[in-house]
Structure 1
Amino acid sequence: MSREVDAPLRSDVRFLGRLLGEVLVEQEGEALFAVEEVIRKLSIQRRRGPRAEREEAQQELVRLLEALPIEQAEPVLRAFAMYFRLVNIAEQHHRIRRARAHASSPGEPPQRGSLAAVMTAAKDAGVSAEAMREALARLEVTLTLTAHPTEAARRTVLEKLYRIARRLEERDRCHLLPREEEEARAAIREEITLLWQTDEVRREKPTVGDEVKNVLWYVEEILWDLLPELSEELGRAFERAYGEPLAARTSPLRIHAWPGGDMDGNPNVTPEVVEDAIRAYRARGLRRLIGAVRELGGSLSQSSRHVRVPESLIVSLADDAVVMPGVAAQESAQTEGEPWRRKLRFVEARLAATLEAVEQERQVARQRMPRLGSVPPPSRGHAGVIGSHAELGVAYRTSEELHRDLSLVADTLREANASNAGEKRARALAERVRVLGLSIAELELRAPAEDAIAAAAWLAGGGDETPGAARLLAALRKLAEAQREYGERAARTLILSMTQRADDILAALTLARAAGLYDVDKHAVTVDIVPLFETHDALVSAPNILRELLAHPAYRRHLSARGAQEVMVGYSDSGKEVGLLAAAFALRKAQTELTKVSREAGIALRVFHGRGESVARGGGPAQQAILALPAGSVAGRYKATEQGEALDHKYARPELALRTLELVVGGALLHTLGAEERPSDEDERRYAEAFEELAEEGRRVYRGLVWEHPRFVDFFTTATPVDEIARLPIGSRPSKRKSGGLEVLRAIPWVFGWTQTRAILPGWYGVGSALEAFARHEGGEELLVEMTRRWPFFRTVLDNVQMVLAKSDMEIAARYAALAAPATRKAIWPRIQDEHARTVQWIRRLFGVKRLLDGNPTLQRSIDLRNPYVDPMSFLQVALLRRKRAGDGHCDRAILLSINGIAAGMRNTG
């Protein structure tokens, strides 16, 4: 990106920085602002200019920060952290600005990764219009929003930042009068002041209810409105590529969620919380539907005097009047001669009755439920016909009933020549209901496989009732009750974490039937049982486990009724266990073999990707990651987790969210069509053999340090703030599944700790040694270069490693290493330094660049601009950790502030 294109971003950053400076002076005085400015200038000097001047600036910066009293350290940390939050907003806004500029340029090729670019690429690859239509009709892309605690910012902080973003957008899009410009400036300054006066660190860990509220905000406020927009964008992209209309338009998107149903290692998710979460999801969905139906009804003012009313609508209205005479009498005068408006009043009344019933059930259940973890109800305040007809027993039980009513409205509008006078909006609302149902999202249940085994054994009289077994069985009974009340779509997925064998799944099948999750007519269990393969050994065993399940008569009958087998692969624990390369190889091989097993058995497969935001947990550019998956592994079905700070980065603004959805849907579509870049089968086999050797060497080197060196755990716990991170109130669940050491530490704090130190070790350790060892073979380096150029999977892996290396700073990481005891540091740190240097060298060689990210100047420039402002927080965090470990008991809050600030600056936690 040229400096001219960058200029508006730099202008926004300067504008926001000046306002922050004004607020600092006003709120804290000139003295603090002066200290902050000195720190900022020294940090910039540390990275620029002659070496001697850089070293002198660093020494002065470190002296200043180490001598800083706590009462000054806290506001300094807050100032830098707030600066980064403002920069993040400016960068998000600039991404939107660039996308709009691209879209408004006539004759320009479609934006890279967009649906238009994807369909054009598919057409160029020989995909016909009919083949594209068929692929779109069967495409399902499921995003599962998880409860994983990787967002360090409070919701109230994010909301203030969103208001600033909207003001920036207003300044960009509108020609403001001088008075309006000053009003916008004052409004942004007010938000910055409010941010400064707000506690950015939570006082308490959020409850499960808080997580439900926070995660579902993205669905209610962003994704809900984007569902029809995504469908429209698919239509526009198809017409642009193929020169003809798509005709029937559907949305491939499905939205699922874990908050309130994720029992894995979280004792706060009780069966009662699961029950309440299902109802909370339903209540929030019904409120949005009521508002949408009321808005649509308000606009459909067509009169029977001017439009011929189809007979099917007349019959439907007569039936409604019989079932709901009170509504008919109440609406008689207001909707006389306006049949579509009248029909939607009946629909609204039925939705109101549905909501009223749900809220009454919640109220009764909540009186019996402990306060911890309960889900707060959505705010009340409905008016009109809402809530006044619940006693009539006309509530919608299933989404199919509502979908039929809305489809009737859309169909009859078309018959009445109103295709451009309401039909599209009615059809879009009907499509929303088809995709989401009556809930705002579909809840999934996750529980440890060992609890399913224990519960099945206990029911069979072969073991004792464990707390986990009792909790899981009770939760499944709550799911059965919900399905009886609301239909199967209320909750129909059970994920078994740490699945190790086929017996885990068979035990869950027995348990589900015993809990009442059973359809007598179909002779089938009414939940999808999803094994989650997380460890390296589990990924290796996954194909054989699936083969054993598919050969089991009872389980095969279950799958015949369900239609597909879903399998979840975890990217986090395997990476922590064997390192990046070995985990990537195991994941790829497992998906390849799982696809082969399911195809041979004639069973449809859906692979669920448990990705995190960091590279060490499967993160990275979404479309490239999808296109790099093994051939045939998508086949019209793609499912992945979205969690933590990823939600804010990708979905905080409608334009960002639509771009994210385009990338994900486009990647899944190209992969399904087989139109993605891919080497020949023979070359891919050759590359896979080479990668297997790389993976084994990477595993040996990684485990030699992390799992086999006797001093490593001591180094990790003393040279990173992992203990402090465990106390950070960012999630309702513990940082460990159970008591123990590194083996039970969750992958999120593992990656979070290394990210804070700027080493980011899980994202690259072992890669350099593996590349170097392979290059010693005859023709080895040439093959590595060929693989980088021609194999998307390998290029994606190395691209992600390159990004992590560019974000790392080993000079600062060395200061964290100095927190460890001298003998421990001497044993561990030189190995880390050497491997980092080796990996940087090989990544540069394979990509043919002098400097990391030379091929991605936008990201390179972003990192260069951020680092000088992250550095002071890192230096100060080291100083604070040293004080704390020397016995100073007044550093805790400042350390938490530094963790928050560095996370904002690095744009990554775990």
Structure 2
Amino acid sequence: MSRKPKLERFKENVSSKYQIYNSIFMTLPFDGISNTGVLLPLFSEICEEGYKRDKNPSQIMDKFFERYVEKDKTEKEKVQLLFRFIQYIERQVVLFDAVEDAAFPIVNNMDGRGTLRNIKEEAQEKHQMDALKTYLKRFKIRPVLTAHPTQFYPGQVLGIITDLAEAIEKDDLLTIKKLLAQLGKTPFFKKEKPTPYNEAVSLIWYLENVFYHSASKIYNYIQDNIFKDEELDNQVIDLGFWPGGDRDGNPFVTTEITLKVAERLRSTILLNYYRDIRKLKRRLTFEGVEKRLAHLERMLYDNVYLRKEDEMFSLAEFEAELKAIRDVIVSDHQSLFSAEINDLINKVKLFGFHFAMLDIRQDSRVHQGVFENIVEVMEARENGLFSIDYANATEEEKIKALTNIDAVVASEYFENEITNATISSIYAMKTIQSNNGERGANRYIISNNQSALHVMEAFSMLRLCNWKQPDVDVSPLFETVPDLQAAQSVMRTLYTNEAYAAHLKRRGNKQYIMLGFSDGTKDGGYLMANWSIFKAKEELTAISREFGIKVIFFDGRGGPPARGGGKTHQFYASLGNTIQDEEIQLTVQGQTISSNFGTPESCQYNLEQLLSSGISNEIFSSATAEFSDEDKKTMEALASISYDTYVAFKKHPCFLTYLERMSTLKYYAKTNIGSRPSKRSKSKEFNFSDLRAIPFVGSWSQLKQNVPGFYGVGTALEYMEKSGKFEAVEDLYKNSSFFRTLLENSMMSLTKSFFKLTAYMKDNEEFGEFWSIIFEEFNRTKRMLLKLTGYESLMENEQAGKASIHAREKIVLPLLTIQQYALRKIQELQKDPEANESELKIYEKMVTRSLFGNINASRNSA
């Protein structure tokens, strides 16, 4: 490990190497194009120079064409050149990703703060090894891979990034040149939407090639270096999975796909075991074990390739046989290669026959309609489910009726497509559990959960599917600010319900509760969303402890800070003892998967950071609440002012029309990056509540305005300054690592903003005032954050991260310019009654194509 500062390591191993390989890439012609690589750096220079002189994207483009493109070039040829620029830039982003991946273990200290080795050494130093062992016997992390479309790389491009990173690590110039040429010819644009099964297959690649190795390496380290001869009976790392099970707003997730994905997960983990058994066979060539290994190899081969289920061991038998083989090696063969067989035994403990735990998720509004249909159909079929008029009963009456429900339904009872699908998805969970084990699919998540009735209806549907005692955890998802505020009352009702309390007792008195950052930010702004979630966690911890329930929080976090991303490790280490920390569970999606978990090194490092954040919070913290009463009052005031500011901004008459007409929002649906529709309803009318968080946050990001990550923060801080209460804010900043982490994430959003790109909008008759409101809040937030932190510039304490952001922003500046140029062209053509329809379509395609590189370049937002 180099002792040079992190920024210097980044410059040497990322910035400098990127410049070298990019210069090679720019000289490689593909598809018969030779001058694009020459013209792009010149265009990039014109862009930088133009924004310094306050020129708009159209003026910058005119200047470039005038200076570097022959006068006789037609409009069509100029447009073709811009499309070629887009092709080059999105590939430059891939190259930067690969260089950064290759340098990951050099730039990041793999044995430094937050790693397991560091944690173990700190525990030894502080005589806390027993406490560490006790904690690891019950603590877990669960990253949950989702198919939310926040990255635009097709599978083959992800493969090239991996191969490029390996070649760069070895400085293999010949392979690098070949891979760059391959990259030049590989299409990025998806002509058809992926199916949920396609999405699952691409994410299973990460499970098979990265998590399988990294998670087991961590587990081996814990077993060998912390527990030593003592058997660790806790997985420590679970993996979660949403593609194929997440039905919320995705009509394309069918029962057939759910079962197919579960089967793919099972066959992939068995295939990985098969490969490991083959490797073991080459080493364990001893009497007493050779034939037993050959039997396991044949059994796995028959199951994976020939689909012979009847000859397959159960999971318990498989694990017992591996342990028996280990016993022979220890007793008869001097423990030769016992570490290798221990590694496989640990993998089987971690991944079972399920590989990752497939969650099923659906919206409470769907459940409501489904349940009403069930009641109606059952009344027509027999005596009905209830003695009351369910549709017109009060919530209390409905919950009472659901408590004592006792009937069985089958999906074929229902002609209604959604009811049929919902019921069959529950029967699918039973099938998955019988094939993959109980951990294969044992959680049902209710999106948009607003009441105890929503949980009871989902719980009752499980019981109606011939499952009197469901081996399933029912998890409400609280997302909006009002829902978070009502969460404690919802859980009190459930904990005091006899049927639900009995269910929890059977499930080990554990209650999973999911909290959604993305919709919380969209609904209430950055500070209020994060503060509401913190308060909800405190309240839910208190109510759960009152009833003897261990609450396990599952955070729906996105990639950028505005969607709950940012510095997740610092966030979890800062929660204090008033929030239950039995497990850390969070969603991981899009560019966050590839940037944080895309290589074995980055995956191991970030899993260890998550583990250590929980350990730090529990064992090495001062075991006090994160907030004093005074600090809490200050935080409450800041969140409240920020919320009012954001809500007033949302109510501005230009808010929706600005997004609809001046941003890339409506183009997200045309990118074909995800199977899920980009809005919740099929209505053609533009409605804020139907808008998903990803295109909402993404559209602000494409404008380089990043509103959801800072809007309201500056106003709240300035109000405290003008009221003479800034000292209280300084105390809060000094005392609370939670608050510091929030502000550092907000700084990241500010760092990624670039208002010169859209400065032309301030002269727009309709939207000029609205653009100026955003720009003023940006400047206000920047001024106040610098004052509070004492920094000279944003992200002063994160120089390497800041350098990565600046490098990526420099790469995509020409792409952003092309996008804004195309948007301005579209606006001009839409005003012209004689405009050519085909010309309009070309510029719309240009906007859609430019979305790809811009989003991919933001992968360091996690």
Q: TM-score, normalised by structure 1?
A: 0.83
Give the 3 Å change call, closer, same or farther, for CA 273–909 of structure 1 in structure 2: farther
> Match for residue 475 of structure 1?
425
C-alpha separation in 2, matches of 1:682 and 1:619: 20
> Match for residue 489 of structure 1?
439
> Match for residue 84 of structure 1?
93
> Match for residue 759 of structure 1?
705
> Match for residue 128 of structure 1?
128
Q: Secondary structure at the match of 2:135?
A: helix
Post-superposition offset of 1:577? 0.6
Q: What residue identity is the alignment partner of 2:324?
A: L
Cα RMSD for the two superposed structures: 2.6
C-alpha separation in 2, matches of 1:632 and 1:121: 24
C-alpha separation in 2, matches of 1:616 and 1:863: 16
1:458 and 2:403 aligned:
no
> Match for residue 402 of structure 1?
318
C-alpha separation in 2, matches of 1:4 and 1:846: 27
Q: Is the 8 A contact 2:266 2:436 kept in 1?
A: no
Give the 3 Å change call, closer, same or farther, for CA 89–246 of structure 1 in structure 2: farther
C-alpha separation in 2, matches of 1:65 and 1:154: 32
1:94 and 2:103 aligned:
yes
Q: Is the 8 A contact 1:697 1:766 kept in 2?
A: yes
> Match for residue 339 of structure 1?
288
Instruction: Identify the match of residue 242 of structure 2 among 230, 240, 258.
Output: 258
Instruction: Identify the match of residue 568 of structure 2 among 601, 608, 622.
Output: 622
Give the 3 Å change call, closer, same or farther, for CA 452–411 of structure 1 in structure 2: farther
Alignment of 1:149-188 (within 5 A): 149-171=149-171, 184-188=172-176
Post-superposition offset of 1:74? 0.4
> Match for residue 811 of structure 1?
756
- The CA deviation string for residues 667-687 of structure 1, in whole angstroms up to 9 with x for no partner, is 1222233x2367x54952321
Post-superposition offset of 1:861? 2.2
Post-superposition offset of 1:628? 2.2
Give the 3 Å change call, closer, same or farther, for CA 246–483 of structure 1 in structure 2: closer
Which has the higher mean CA deviation after the structures are superposed, 464-473 or 218-227?
464-473
1:826 and 2:768 aligned:
yes
Q: Secondary structure at the match of 1:525?
A: coil
C-alpha separation in 1, matches of 2:354 and 2:491: 32
Post-superposition offset of 1:598? 0.9
- The CA deviation string for residues 406-462 of structure 1, in whole angstroms up to 9 with x for no partner, is 22222332233543x232222221221122111232211111123333333433445
C-alpha separation in 2, matches of 1:662 and 1:218: 17
1:592 and 2:541 aligned:
no
Post-superposition offset of 1:91? 2.0
> Match for residue 411 of structure 1?
327
Q: Is the 8 A contact 1:591 1:630 kept in 2?
A: no
Q: Is the 8 A contact 1:454 1:465 kept in 2?
A: no
Post-superposition offset of 1:127? 5.6
Instruction: Identify the match of residue 37 of structure 1 among 36, 41, 46.
Output: 41
C-alpha separation in 2, matches of 1:251 and 1:526: 19
Give the 3 Å change call, closer, same or farther, for CA 127–798 of structure 1 in structure 2: farther
> Match for residue 317 of structure 1?
none
C-alpha separation in 1, matches of 2:812 and 2:321: 55
C-alpha separation in 2, matches of 1:491 and 1:62: 57
1:857 and 2:799 aligned:
yes
Q: Is the 8 A contact 1:42 1:57 kept in 2?
A: no
> Match for residue 535 of structure 1?
480
Q: Secondary structure at the match of 1:565?
A: strand
> Match for residue 884 of structure 1?
826
Q: Is the 8 A contact 1:297 1:341 kept in 2?
A: yes
Q: What residue identity is the alignment partner of 1:665?
A: L
Post-superposition offset of 1:2? 6.8
C-alpha separation in 2, matches of 1:418 and 1:689: 64
Instruction: Identify the match of residue 194 of structure 1 among 182, 198, 206.
Output: 182
C-alpha separation in 2, matches of 1:216 and 1:290: 17
Q: What residue identity is the alignment partner of 1:803?
A: M
- The CA deviation string for residues 821-866 of structure 1, in whole angstroms up to 9 with x for no partner, is x343134111111111100000101110121122221122223333
Post-superposition offset of 1:719? 1.5
Q: Secondary structure at the match of 1:404?
A: helix
1:875 and 2:791 aligned:
no
Q: Secondary structure at the match of 2:466?
A: coil
Give the 3 Å change call, closer, same or farther, for CA 429–846 of structure 1 in structure 2: same
Post-superposition offset of 1:55? 6.5
- The CA deviation string for residues 716-750 of structure 1, in whole angstroms up to 9 with x for no partner, is 11121111112111100001111351111000000
C-alpha separation in 2, matches of 1:8 and 1:274: 43
Q: Secondary structure at the match of 1:855?
A: coil
Q: What residue identity is the alignment partner of 2:845?
A: R
- The CA deviation string for residues 102-161 of structure 1, in whole angstroms up to 9 with x for no partner, is 56xxxxxx512222333444556x462111111112121111111211111111112112
C-alpha separation in 2, matches of 1:281 and 1:704: 47
Give the 3 Å change call, closer, same or farther, for CA 686–119 of structure 1 in structure 2: farther
Q: Secondary structure at the match of 1:161?
A: helix
Q: What residue identity is the alignment partner of 2:278?
A: R
Alignment of 1:414-563 (within 5 A): 414-419=330-335, 421-460=336-375, 461=379, 462=390, 467-518=417-468, 524-563=469-508
> Match for residue 72 of structure 1?
81
Identical columns (%): 25
- The CA deviation string for residues 27-79 of structure 1, in whole angstroms up to 9 with x for no partner, is 554533332131122344457xxx66x86999555632798821110011221
Q: Is the 8 A contact 1:400 1:434 kept in 2?
A: no
Q: What residue identity is the alignment partner of 1:290?
A: Y
Post-superposition offset of 1:248? 3.9
Q: Is the 8 A contact 2:151 2:590 kept in 1?
A: yes
> Match for residue 20 of structure 1?
25
Instruction: Identify the match of residue 8 of structure 1 among 2, 6, 13.
Output: 13
- The CA deviation string for residues 773-801 of structure 1, in whole angstroms up to 9 with x for no partner, is 122333x2112122222201100110001
Give the 3 Å change call, closer, same or farther, for CA 658–46 of structure 1 in structure 2: farther
Q: Is the 8 A contact 2:57 2:820 kept in 1?
A: no
Q: Secondary structure at the match of 1:90?
A: helix
C-alpha separation in 1, matches of 2:533 and 2:56: 47
Post-superposition offset of 1:246? 7.4
Q: Is the 8 A contact 1:757 1:816 kept in 2?
A: no
> Match for residue 295 of structure 1?
279
C-alpha separation in 2, matches of 1:121 and 1:846: 32
Q: Is the 8 A contact 1:636 1:672 kept in 2?
A: no
> Match for residue 367 of structure 1?
none
Which has the higher mean CA deviation after the structures are superposed, 82-91 or 592-601?
82-91
Q: What residue identity is the alignment partner of 1:897?
A: R
> Match for residue 143 of structure 1?
143
Q: Is the 8 A contact 2:762 2:772 kept in 1?
A: no
Q: Is the 8 A contact 2:479 2:515 kept in 1?
A: yes
> Match for residue 326 of structure 1?
none
Which has the higher mean CA deviation after the structures are superposed, 712-721 or 32-41?
32-41
1:841 and 2:783 aligned:
yes
Q: What residue identity is the alignment partner of 1:889?
A: K
Q: Is the 8 A contact 1:627 1:667 kept in 2?
A: yes
C-alpha separation in 1, matches of 2:626 and 2:169: 51
Alignment of 1:45-56 (within 5 A): 45=49
Q: Secondary structure at the match of 1:532?
A: strand
Alignment of 1:538-687 (within 5 A): 538-563=483-508, 564-673=510-619, 675-676=620-621, 681=625, 684-687=628-631
C-alpha separation in 2, matches of 1:688 and 1:733: 39
Q: What residue identity is the alignment partner of 2:467?
A: L
> Match for residue 372 of structure 1?
none
Post-superposition offset of 1:9? 2.5
Which has the higher mean CA deviation after the structures are superposed, 558-567 or 849-858?
849-858
Q: Is the 8 A contact 1:482 1:491 kept in 2?
A: yes
Q: What residue identity is the alignment partner of 1:342?
A: K
- The CA deviation string for residues 642-691 of structure 1, in whole angstroms up to 9 with x for no partner, is 11111110122111111111111111222233x2367x549523212211
